[in-house]
């Protein structure tokens, strides 16, 4: 029988809080972290708003000399990982570090470094391009640095599946521990793509909201007036641990990870399958993997991007998966407050889900004003709601038609 | 600032080492500079002193003094 896996530590760097207390406080009170872009001059862009972390100070977590060799996406991940490690009460001198690994996803990797060094290449020529360009930009460097800092010699991987990256990373980490290939995995995702070229590409793809005059109201998942997603940056990292290992050291347990589902849409590079088949399969497989019936699910943390397509099709997929129970469970979108953290979205939203579970309160979907007849579930509009949550799902879907769903269950000493 | 002071200032900034702790005998090994750090350092020196340092010359750099005498021989 597969070994059981629990979550024993969390760390977040998000537009509405870079520690779990502040993050939860802002989630439950429905505060938006979306503002006018400050990371670069966005005045010529059709979208000029984002969920940034303007006060992020890498040297709070990392020595300055190391920090300057890292892209921002790696700095976020290292900061969140150290936070999660501490939250889990782990001491690297008291564990078998050969049995502890790192699996961290990123949708895009070090795009800011590419931009910056490409400018130097054009202006000053190849002899001035930094020797740290390649180690800074490659997407697996977040996992690499975390392993170096914590001295972890277990599996070290990176998942790059666009906006599903960190759900896949956590799901894959779940499998690694289930199989017995590690006792602990530092897992999650990170993204820092609020940069001129990435932004330009998403603008050209017509993916981003243009509600530039009202940043805090721009990310409005499931609302009829939604007009695209708002990009966010940050990182979410969880500590996954075999249940035996966690119990042996008396660790706190946020929840048990009980199921992982994956699928491909096999349909289009950016648009989801209009029938919702891929999303439905992903949720169905997570339920099957967990060995639970649809009726057991109390809450779904939706992918809920605030794009016309996603929100309508995800709603359809939930209805297909859950039948009548779709009207009984509740759904909310963390992106309504922090925007879309791309490769970090799944992990940050799983952490939001764990905090909802801990507080037995569902955080709201903010900016929900105008009902859309195609989006007719209970999205917990605008106000948090006390609610018993024993089992929750967390959806993430990515460009390329890649889908991942995680199922978590409240851990009650058995 | 003379060449030695300028070199020390650049090394200090690039490698986050206190400038007072650097002497002409300080080796790059002592201050934990790996080969990539040295390449980056050489780029900054090339900019500052407007000269070129070849890969072969880089390999011979072991101490701050090596850089100073190398630069003094070129300018």
Pairing of strands A330-332, A299-301: parallel
Q: How far is A64 from chain B (nearest CA, A)?
A: 7
pLDDT, average across residues A294-299: 98
What gap in Å lies between CA A406 and CA A282, rounded to an integer?
9
Annotation marks residue A303 as catalytic: yes
Contacts A65 to B, Cβ<8 Å: 15-16
Which pLDDT band, with edges at 50, 70 and 90, does B74 fall under?
A: confident
> Which A residues in the span 60-89 are in contact with B, Cβ-Cβ below 8 Å?
63-65
Q: Give the residue on B whose Cα is nearest the Cα of A128.
A: B43
* Single pTM value for the model: 0.96
Q: CB B47 to CB A128 under 8 A?
A: yes
Query: Residue A1: its pLDDT value, please?
Result: 66
Residue A413 in this model has a pLDDT that exceeds 80: no
Neighbours of B36 (CB within 10 A): 14
- The per-residue pLDDT for A2 is 85
Tokens in use for A280? Answer: 């439905």
Q: CATH topology of A5-248 equal to that of A259-409?
A: yes
H or E element in which residue B41 lies: helix B35-49
Whether A132 sits inside 8 A of B36 (CB atoms) is yes
- Mean local confidence (pLDDT), A65-84: 97
Nearest to A5 by CA among A194, A246, A321: A246
Determine contact, residues A271/A332, Cβ cutoff 8 Å: no
| Cα–Cα distance measured from residue B45 to residue B7, given in angstroms and rounded to the nearest whole number | 7
Q: Per-residue pLDDT averaged across A182-205, rounded?
A: 96
**Residue A284 in contact with residue A250, Cβ under 8 Å?**
no
Nearest to A45 by CA among A269, A268, A225, A228: A228
Strands (E), A14-63: 35-36, 49-50
| DSSP annotation of B63 | B
CA–CA gap between residue A355 and residue A251 (Å, rounded): 17
pLDDT value for A414: 63
Vertex A292, ends A290 and A293: CA angle to 5°? Answer: 145
Q: B50 in the Ramachandran plot: left (φ > 0), alpha (ψ -120 to 50) or beta? A: left
Note whether B16 contacts A65, CB cutoff 8 Å: yes
pLDDT at A5: 98
What are the sequence ranges of the domains in chain A?
5-248, 259-409
Q: Residue A2 class from Cβ within 10 Å (0-12 exposed, 13-18 middle, 19+ buried)?
A: exposed
For residue A137, the distance in angstroms to the closest alpha carbon of chain B comes to 15
Residue in chain A closest to B55 (alpha carbons) equals A127
pLDDT at A163 > cutoff 80 = yes
Contact B40 A128 (CB under 8 A): no
In this predicted structure, what is the pLDDT of residue A227? 97
Whether A255 shows a pLDDT value over 90: the answer reads: yes
Note whether A131 contacts B15, CB cutoff 8 Å: no
Residue positions of B annotated with a catalytic role:
34
CB A66 within 8 Å of CB A105:
no
Does the CB of B25 have a partner CB in chain A at under 8 Å? no
Q: Do A130 and B40 touch (CB under 8 A)?
A: yes
ipTM score assigned to the predicted complex:
0.89
Angstrom distance (rounded) from CA A412 to CA A234:
31
Residue A369, pLDDT > 80, answer yes
Average pLDDT, chain A: 97
Percent pLDDT > 70 in chain A is 100
- What is the average per-residue pLDDT within A320-349? 98
Chain A residue numbers touching B43 (CB-CB < 8 A): 127-128, 130
DSSP-H helix ranges across A54-129: 64-67, 72-87, 111-124
Report CB contact under 8 Å: A132, B47.
Answer: no
A5-248: CATH superfamily: Thiolase/Chalcone synthase (3.40.47.10)
CA distance A75 to chain B (A): 18
Question: Is B43–A127 a contact, with Cβ atoms under 8 angstroms apart?
Answer: yes
Hey, is the C-beta of A126 within 8 angstroms of any chain B C-beta? no
Rounded to the nearest angstrom, the minimum Cα separation between A126 and chain B is 11
Query: Which pLDDT score is estimated for B75?
Result: 74
Q: What is the DSSP string of A148-208?
A: HHHT--S-EE----GGGHHHHHHHHHHHHHHHTS-SEEEEEEEE---SHHHHHHHHHTT-B
Q: Cα–Cα distance between A345 and A353 in angstroms, integer? A: 12
A 128-147 residues inside an 8 A Cβ radius of B:
128, 130-132, 135
Residue A263 makes CB contacts below 8 A (sequence gap 6+) with A278, A279, A281, A282, A285, A403
- CATH fold for domain A259-409: Peroxisomal Thiolase; Chain A, domain 1 (3.40.47)
């Amino acid at each position: 029988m597969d070994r059981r896996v629990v979550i024993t530590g969390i760390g977040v760097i998000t537009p509405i809080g870079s520690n779990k207390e502040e993050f939860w406080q802002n989630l439950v009170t429905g505060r938006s972290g979306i503002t006018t872009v400050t990371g670069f001059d966005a005045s010529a862009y059709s979208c000029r708003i984002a969920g940034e972390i303007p006060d992020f100070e890498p040297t709070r977590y990392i020595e300055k000399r190391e920090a300057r060799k890292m892209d921002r996406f790696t700095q976020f991940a290292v900061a969140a990982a150290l936070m999660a490690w501490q939250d889990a009460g782990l001491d690297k001198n008291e564990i078998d570090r050969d049995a502890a690994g790192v699996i961290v996803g990123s949708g895009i990797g070090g795009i800011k470094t590419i931009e910056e060094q490409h400018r130097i290449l054009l202006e000053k020529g190849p002899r001035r391009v930094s020797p740290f360009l390649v180690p800074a930009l490659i997407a697996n460097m977040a996992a690499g640095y975390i392993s170096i800092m914590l001295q972890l010699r277990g599996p070290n991987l990176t998942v790059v599946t666009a906006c599903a990256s960190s759900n896949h990373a956590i799901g894959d980490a779940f499998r690694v521990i289930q199989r017995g290939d590690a006792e602990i995995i530092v897992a999650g995702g990170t993204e820092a793509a609020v940069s001129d070229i990435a932004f330009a590409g998403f603008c050209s793809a017509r993916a981003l909201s243009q509600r530039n005059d009202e940043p805090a109201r721009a990310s409005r998942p499931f609302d009829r007036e939604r007009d695209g997603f708002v990009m966010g940056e940050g990182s979410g990292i969880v500590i996954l641990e075999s249940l035996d290992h966690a119990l042996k050291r008396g660790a706190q347990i946020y929840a048990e990870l009980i199921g992982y589902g994956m699928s491909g849409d096999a349909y289009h590079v950016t648009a989801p399958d209009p029938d919702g088949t891929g999303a439905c399969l992903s949720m169905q497989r997570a339920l099957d993997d967990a060995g639970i019936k649809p009726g057991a699910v109390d809450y779904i943390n939706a992918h809920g991007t605030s794009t016309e397509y996603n929100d309508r099709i995800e709603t359809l997929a939930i209805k297909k998966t859950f039948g009548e129970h779709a009207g009984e469970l509740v759904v909310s979108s963390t992106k309504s407050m922090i925007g879309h953290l791309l490769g970090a979205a799944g992990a940050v939203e799983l952490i939001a889900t764990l905090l909802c579970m801990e507080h037995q309160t569902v955080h709201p979907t903010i900016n929900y004003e105008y009902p859309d007849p195609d989006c007719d579930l209970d999205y917990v509009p605008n106000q948090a709601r006390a609610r018993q949550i024993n089992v929750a799902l967390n959806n993430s879907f990515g460009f390329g038609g890649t889908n991942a769903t995680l199922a978590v269950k409240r851990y009650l000493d058995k | 600032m003379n060449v030695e002071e300028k070199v020390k200032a650049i090394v200090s900034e690039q490698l986050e080492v206190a400038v007072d702790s650097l002497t002409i005998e300080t080796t790059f090994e002592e201050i934990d500079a790996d080969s990539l750090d040295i390449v980056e350092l050489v780029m900054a020196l090339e900019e500052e002193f407007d000269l070129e340092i070849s890969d072969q010359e880089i390999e011979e750099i072991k101490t701050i003094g090596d850089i100073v005498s190398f630069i003094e021989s070129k300018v």
